[in-house]
Structure 1
Amino acid sequence: MKNAEAFEVAVSQQVLDDLKNRLQNTRWPGEADGSGWAFGTSEAYLKELTQYWLHTYDWRKQEEALNRYPQYIADVNGVQVHFQYIKGNGANAKPLLLTHGWPDSYYRFHKLIPLLTEGEQPFDLVIPSIPGFGFSEKTALSSTAVADLWKDLMTQTLGYEHFYAAGGDIGMSVTKALASKYPGIVAGVHFTDIGYPMGQEDPATMTEAEQQFAQFVQQWWYSEGAYAMVQATKPQSLAYGLNDSPVGLAAWIVSFGNAGAHPDILEKAFGGRDALLTNIMIYWVTQTIATSARIYKVDAMAQWSGEKPLEKSDVPAGIAVFPREAQFPKEWAERFVHVVSFRAMDEGGHFAALEVPEIFAAELKRFFSELH
């Protein structure tokens, strides 16, 4: 392993004591009678979550779990990249790079580790934190620039000649860029989403199913897309409040996690209440909400600058559409990647790796095991 050092999560007690004081001294804004989730994150729910955070949640226990698997910090082309690296149990293990999105973290995949490193087809798992997220360097890079880093992480730092890659959300954009730019190195890719119609497509070239998908996305964008618009335009203005208030940070992340979902499945979507808070804690203890949100602005600036769109790749791609994810048709995916597998899943949503890890792991194993 080149230019890499072992790493462990170790948050100071001072940071945890400060967090406790901030939670206890929260100034609650109040909410309209009977509003529930209609105006954003429910205050009643958030107060309950905060009490659990204060009196029941155990960061030290979660910290121990985070350190259960080997982690490293590597200098990759001058950028400090944090990543988990877990070797598969077997001589035929295949290298698999997993990339998270927002508002999650490398923790998105922790339930997959024992499922994907054992069995008839094990994988060497590489699970990095995108720069600007978690324990990686606090710098915001475009999705394409992250793909360039990941290529060097896999080939130069870890020494793989070829590898597989999977991702959702921002991780989808990074993985798609990897397939487009490095088809001779990336042997296969897998996605749980593939991007959304943004009004740039000629309706005459779209199938009826694609047009219906575009109408759904437009409606969703107006009802649930405020977070992306803010982060793509004024991320710094947002960051002051979220970096200063843990309850504010939780409200913003929970609001997105609840988008399109009934409140009673919110915590399930993140893999349980402790998993939800651990994900929020990773943002809090690293103070990376500002840089993580900034990637939306950086990607938007690249698009506005007229950056040439990525070419469609011939790298074989698998698609798994979970029922509480945007339901895009196969022909939409085929605009961007070489689809060789397109499957509608029976259960799960945007954070499938957290919510239904066994189902998601089985899908990844099935797809990548069929590639040669």
Structure 2
Amino acid sequence: MTSVNPSSAPSDDSVHPFRLHIPQEELTDLHERLDRTRWPDELPGVGWEYGVPRGYLRELVRYWRHEYDWRAAEARLNTWPQFTTTIDGALIHFAHIRSPEPDATPLLMTHGWPGSFVEFTEVVGPLTDPRAHGCDPANAFHLVLPSIPGFGLSGPTPETGWEFRRVAGAFAELMRRLGHQRYGVQGGDWGAAISRELGRTLPDQVIGVHLNLLPNSGATHEPDARELDALSPHERKRTLASWERFQEWCRERQGYADVQSTRPQTLAYGLTDSPVGQLAWITEKFKEWTDSRDRPEDAVDRDVMLTNVMLYWLTGTAGSSARIYYERAHADYWGTPPGPSTAPTAVADFAHDNFIPLRHIADRTNNIVQWTEYDRGGHFAAMEQPDLLVDDVRRFFRKLRETPPR
């Protein structure tokens, strides 16, 4: 299947098996486009300061064209049982990977932008089958890995309004259809916003919320002396660092979000027509948002990164995935404080993520029961530090099993 067309999706609530298969003519078309790339000029000696360096991207494109093996990636993804179902007018693709342990905890894991369910490649085995990985089988999970509506195999969406709260509602219905009445949720980036919303609105169904990014928890103004004096030395240091990183974000890094929040359709023409454009738009984030030094491959596997790009390219969802930014920015709730959540919540803070979360802010609207700060890793935790993420998830849900919240 090349792409998912919601307009042709069944209108019932049944779940349909899905197997990924891209026709060879689409791969041939990609190769021909890569061969005909029209390269821009570049200023000498600027590195990554102006965006993705041409020399780096030329080499990555050469590898993509001549060495990267989509069929191997496709076969690996097809080892996961995959399905589609129609919810709220949108076709939703997901992998549903059951643990061999019958009492495993259902866990919904949600990616963000510019990610996909491919992000979870290295954590699926340890989470679903800990026994096979030398760990306690009591820490097993049944995994549900959806593609966000509008993203990849769940796209494009057929109408406006698909912001993260609507996505959370659709995923709640997905879990109901799969028979999971009580489950955990996990996510980063948009997956964090969606996961937190599920816990906030469905505390009787969501047993715990594990996040590797906590929205609205960083410093957004310069702290004054009174604010800093009220904090512990550790939290004071983090607050100052959080403010510095936020300023750097506003100055240097938020341009992509401004474009996607205002004119996603205009952006879509270039990214949908040019595979190198789509590659550059995504690859830049894998460099800037990870614990990398000179190139994204310092932090993430090159082939997995390209597989992630392929899912955007082959489905033509550059524009529809960007629309989630527009829908949030134009929603009635935009700019209002986050609603309080009583769901037990864990935060895994990886040192090189975009923002530094602050515990004293997080505690205002979240029921934080586990807070862990790591000195390595970045935005794509499941790809960069899968072992750390797996251990953090296991530890959190084990804690909930051993000490159920009152």
- Residue in 2 aligned with 1:232? 261
> What secondary structure, in the 3-state scheme, does the structure 2 residue paired with 1:220 have?
helix
- Residue in 1 aligned with 2:126? 115
Q: If the length of structure 1 is used for normalisation, what is the TM-score?
A: 0.93
Once residues 16 and 116 of structure 2 are traced to their aligned partners in structure 1, the CA distance between those partners, rounded to angstroms, is 20
- Deviations, residues 20-40 of structure 1 (Å, cap 9, x unaligned): 011000000021111211110
Match of 1:92 among 83, 90, 103: 103
Once residues 267 and 323 of structure 1 are traced to their aligned partners in structure 2, the CA distance between those partners, rounded to angstroms, is 18
- Residue in 1 aligned with 2:3? none
Q: Which ranges of structure 1 fall in alignment gaps of 5 or more residues?
A: none
Once residues 167 and 79 of structure 1 are traced to their aligned partners in structure 2, the CA distance between those partners, rounded to angstroms, is 21
Relative to structure 1, the CA distance from residue 115 to residue 165 in structure 2 (aligned partners, 3 Å threshold; closer, same or farther) is: same
Match of 1:172 among 192, 195, 200: 192
Deviation, structure 1 residue 137:
3.5
- Deviations, residues 127-179 of structure 1 (Å, cap 9, x unaligned): 00000001113126100000001111101x11111110010000111011111
Are 1:4 and 1:72, in contact at CA under 8 Å, matched by a contact in 2? yes
Report matched runs for 1:297-308 at 5 Å: 297-302=326-331
Once residues 36 and 293 of structure 2 are traced to their aligned partners in structure 1, the CA distance between those partners, rounded to angstroms, is 26
Name the amino acid aligned to 1:58.
Answer: D
Name the amino acid aligned to 2:62.
Answer: Q
Deviation, structure 1 residue 360:
1.0
Name the amino acid aligned to 1:257.
Answer: F
Relative to structure 1, the CA distance from residue 55 to residue 69 in structure 2 (aligned partners, 3 Å threshold; closer, same or farther) is: same
Q: Does 1:267 align with 2:293?
A: no
- Deviations, residues 248-268 of structure 1 (Å, cap 9, x unaligned): 111111112211555535124
Are 1:177 and 1:310, in contact at CA under 8 Å, matched by a contact in 2? no
> What secondary structure, in the 3-state scheme, does the structure 1 residue paired with 2:272 have?
helix
Match of 1:75 among 86, 89, 96: 86
Are 2:270 and 2:277, in contact at CA under 8 Å, matched by a contact in 1? yes
Once residues 219 and 117 of structure 1 are traced to their aligned partners in structure 2, the CA distance between those partners, rounded to angstroms, is 39
Once residues 217 and 186 of structure 1 are traced to their aligned partners in structure 2, the CA distance between those partners, rounded to angstroms, is 31
Match of 1:161 among 181, 191, 214: 181
Name the amino acid aligned to 2:349.
Answer: V
Once residues 199 and 317 of structure 1 are traced to their aligned partners in structure 2, the CA distance between those partners, rounded to angstroms, is 22
- Deviations, residues 306-335 of structure 1 (Å, cap 9, x unaligned): 686542111100111112113222122223
Residues 53-62 or 206-215, more deviating: 206-215
Deviation, structure 1 residue 219:
2.0
Name the amino acid aligned to 1:99.
Answer: T
Name the amino acid aligned to 1:179.
Answer: G
Q: If the length of structure 2 is used for normalisation, what is the TM-score?
A: 0.86
Relative to structure 1, the CA distance from residue 71 to residue 249 in structure 2 (aligned partners, 3 Å threshold; closer, same or farther) is: same
Residues 174-183 or 308-317, more deviating: 308-317
Once residues 211 and 51 of structure 1 are traced to their aligned partners in structure 2, the CA distance between those partners, rounded to angstroms, is 43
Residues 234-243 or 320-329, more deviating: 320-329
Q: Does 1:134 align with 2:152?
A: yes
Q: Does 1:194 align with 2:214?
A: yes
Deviation, structure 1 residue 80:
1.0
Relative to structure 1, the CA distance from residue 200 to residue 72 in structure 2 (aligned partners, 3 Å threshold; closer, same or farther) is: farther
Report matched runs for 1:203-352 at 5 Å: 208=236, 209-210=238-239, 212-259=241-288, 262-269=292-299, 271-302=300-331, 309-325=337-353, 326-352=355-381
Are 2:219 and 2:242, in contact at CA under 8 Å, matched by a contact in 1? no
RMSD of aligned residue pairs (Cα, Å): 2.2
Once residues 279 and 176 of structure 1 are traced to their aligned partners in structure 2, the CA distance between those partners, rounded to angstroms, is 24
Once residues 221 and 85 of structure 2 are traced to their aligned partners in structure 1, the CA distance between those partners, rounded to angstroms, is 38
- Residue in 2 aligned with 1:23? 34
Once residues 60 and 257 of structure 1 are traced to their aligned partners in structure 2, the CA distance between those partners, rounded to angstroms, is 23
Q: Does 1:365 align with 2:394?
A: yes
Q: Which ranges of structure 2 fall in alignment gaps of 5 or more residues?
A: 1-12, 131-136, 402-406
Once residues 239 and 336 of structure 1 are traced to their aligned partners in structure 2, the CA distance between those partners, rounded to angstroms, is 36
Name the amino acid aligned to 2:96.
Answer: Y
Q: Does 1:144 align with 2:196?
A: no
Once residues 284 and 211 of structure 1 are traced to their aligned partners in structure 2, the CA distance between those partners, rounded to angstroms, is 40
Name the amino acid aligned to 2:207.
Answer: A
